[in-house]
Amino acid sequence: MTRSRSARRERIRVRVLPDHDSIAREVAGRIADLIRERAREGRNAVLGLATGSTPLGVYRELIRLHREEGLDFANVVAFNLDEYFPMRPGSIHSYHRYMRENLFDHIDIPLARRHIPRGDLAETEVESHCADFERLIREAGGIDLQILGIGRSGHIGFNEPGSMRDSRTRLLYLDSVTRSDAAADFFGEENVPPQAITMGVATILEAREVILLATGEHKAPIVRRSVEGEVHADVAATFLQQHPSATVYLDPAAAAELTRIRTPWLVDEVVWTMRMETDAVIWLSQRTGKPILHLATDDYREHHLASLVSRYGSAEPLNGRVFTSLMARIRGKSRLPRGHRILVFSPHPDDDVISMGGLLRKLVENGNRVAVAYQTSGNIAVFDHEVRRYLDFMRRAARILEPSGMGDLTDRIGAVERELTRKEPGEIDSPAVQDLKRAIRESEATAALETLGLPKARGRFLDLPFYRTGQVRKNPIGAADVEVVARLLEEVRPEMVFAAGDLSDPHGTHRMCLETVERALEGYSGPPPWVWLYRGAWQEWGVSEATVLVPLSDGELHGKVQAIFRHESQKDSAPFPGSDPREFWQRVVDRNRATADLLRTLGLPAYRAMEAYRVTRDGRPAKAGEIPGPVPGGGEEAAK
Catalytic positions: 160
Closest CA to 85 of 44, 125, 121: 121
Question: How far is Cα 21 from Cα 33, in angstroms, rounded to an integer?
Answer: 18
Position 337, amino acid: P
Decide if 566 contacts 444 (C-beta within 8 A). yes
Decide if 390 contacts 440 (C-beta within 8 A). yes
Position 305, amino acid: L
Closest CA to 549 of 540, 560, 558, 539: 540
Q: In this structure, are strands 548-552 and 609-617 parallel, antiparallel, or unpaired? A: antiparallel
Residues 6+ apart with CB under 8 A from 14: 6, 227, 247, 248, 250, 255, 258
Decide if 16 contacts 251 (C-beta within 8 A). yes
Q: In this structure, are strands 530-534 and 609-617 parallel, antiparallel, or unpaired? A: antiparallel
Phi/psi of residue 235, nearest 5 degrees? -130, 95
Decide if 48 contacts 79 (C-beta within 8 A). yes
- SS3 label, residue 478: coil
- SS3 label, residue 7: coil
Question: How far is Cα 384 from Cα 423, in angstroms, rounded to an integer?
Answer: 9
Phi/psi of residue 258, nearest 5 degrees? -60, 145
Neighbours of 313 (CB within 10 A): 10
- SS3 label, residue 638: helix
DSSP state of 571: S
Closest CA to 329 of 68, 121, 599: 599
141: phi > 0 → left, psi -120 to 50 → alpha, else beta; which? left
Decide if 461 contacts 442 (C-beta within 8 A). yes
Decide if 339 contacts 495 (C-beta within 8 A). no
Position 430, amino acid: S
Question: How far is Cα 291 from Cα 151, in angstroms, rounded to an integer?
Answer: 37
According to DSSP, the residues that pair with 82 across neighbouring strands are 198
Neighbours of 334 (CB within 10 A): 10
Question: How far is Cα 416 from Cα 210, in angstroms, rounded to an integer?
Answer: 48
